Amino acid sequence: MTPLMFIILSTFLLCLTGLVFHRMHLLSALICLEGLMLSIFMGMSTWCLQFESMMFSLSPMILLTLSACEAGTGLAILVATTHTHGSDLMQNLNLL
């Protein structure tokens, strides 16, 4: 295993465990999702570097666009939950 592979795999698994275990706020879960997208972005962009095929380097751009959509929708849900329930604690989402 090379250091680059180690970095990508370990940051993906770190953010995944952080998303699964012990989230107190909804915003923390969204930030963990952003960390997942960041590690996938690094993996995709170094993939096209490793194979010397620059044709592939438009797929990180597509990923970044879709992650922007995901972040916007998640923050809209955060705003709606905060206005209707008073806070964004994850225990409050059991009431929905």
What are the residues binding another protein (CB under 8 A)? 1-4, 6-7, 10-11, 14-15, 17-19, 21-28, 30-32, 34-35, 38-39, 41-42, 45-46, 48-50, 53-58, 60-62, 64-66, 68-69, 71-73, 75-84, 87-88, 96
Integer Cα distance of 42 and 9 in angstroms: 10
Q: 59-85 and 26-50 helices cross at what angle (nearest 10)?
A: 180
Could you tell me if 47 and 57 are in contact, meaning their C-beta atoms sit under 8 angstroms apart?
A: no
Report in angstroms how near the CB of residue 91 gets to another protein at its nearest. Answer: 14
Report in angstroms how near the CB of residue 68 gets to another protein at its nearest. Answer: 6
Report in angstroms how near the CB of residue 65 gets to another protein at its nearest. Answer: 5
